[in-house]
Structure 1
Amino acid sequence: MLSLNVDQALAEPPYAQLRSQIVGAVSAGSLIAGAKLPTVRALADQLGVAPGTVARAYKELEADGVIETRGRAGTFVSFAQDPLRSQAQRAAAAYATQVRGLGITDDDAVQLVADALRATR
């Protein structure tokens, strides 16, 4: 069973906490492809948050390819090969487009990414 929680004392917004916990569970393998997630209303009730909070987390996760909604059947972990890698590839493509438009050299662009990764450790 999926164990999610929201800590109102954290600076991170509740929807972002849910989003990161679900991404972490998919990454760790505790949520596998095809696993059904609770409905927005059920999860909101369980966590004591507004349904819009869960809906926003689900919407962002769906946009990132981590989960998919199948109408009345519910919301499920995506069957994409690796939704987290797909999300990273989309972010990398967006970054490449942006730095190319700024006239940044490839070497400088790679260095900027390396610096950013080091800064977020």
Structure 2
Amino acid sequence: MLITVDPASPVPPYEQVRGGLAERIGDGRLPVGTRLPTVRQFAAELGLAVNTVARAYRELESAGLLETRGRHGTFVAPGRDDAVDRLQRAAAGYAAEALRLGVAPDAALDLVRAALDAAHPAIFGANTATA
């Protein structure tokens, strides 16, 4: 099994699946080209609804971490540039720590936005003030 899902966690199951896979992709435990189980197979392994796993796969595909090749399956997508890869690993580590600490996804994102605003107020401050 690639990951485990904690049914008692306040983090929704799809987010646990998404975060677990993103972390493993980011740190290289799931290298580029690795074929993932089908949505149905993975859902059965995890004891989740098919739609839960499908949502996690869709979000990872939207983020560029996975690619679906029709009937051939879903694979870890080819690497991006090195800066994006390093940032992905850092984000995966941050997400794992937020999950471990029980911080809600929205609160974790707010902390990142605040850190970006503090690091680059002239660039990010104007954007987040209107959002």
**What TM-score do the two structures reach when normalised by structure 1?**
0.68
Query: Is the partner of 2:75 in helix, strand or coil?
Result: strand
Unaligned segments of structure 2, at least 5 residues: 89-119, 126-131
- Cα separation, partners in 2 of 1:45 and 1:83, compared to 1, 3 Å: farther
Percent of aligned positions that are identical: 45
Does residue 108 in structure 1 map to residue 121 in structure 2? Answer: yes
Structure ID, larger Rg: 1
Q: CA deviation at 1:85?
A: 1.8
Of the structure 1 ranges 76-85 and 62-71, higher mean CA displacement relative to structure 2 is found in 76-85
Which fold has the larger relative contact order, with Cα–Cα distance below 8 Å and residues 6 or more apart in sequence?
Answer: 2
State how far apart, in whole Å, the 2-side matches of 1:84 and 1:22 are: 20
Q: How many residues align structurally?
A: 95
- Structure 1 residue runs of 4+, over 4 Å off? 109-112
Matches within 5 A, 1:1-121: 3-82=2-81, 85=84, 107-109=120-122
Query: Is the partner of 1:76 in helix, strand or coil?
Result: strand
AA aligned to 2:121 is: D
Unaligned segments of structure 1, at least 5 residues: 90-106, 113-121
State how far apart, in whole Å, the 2-side matches of 1:31 and 1:5 are: 15
1:67, 1:76 within 8 Å by CA — same for their partners in 2?
yes
**What TM-score do the two structures reach when normalised by structure 2?**
0.64
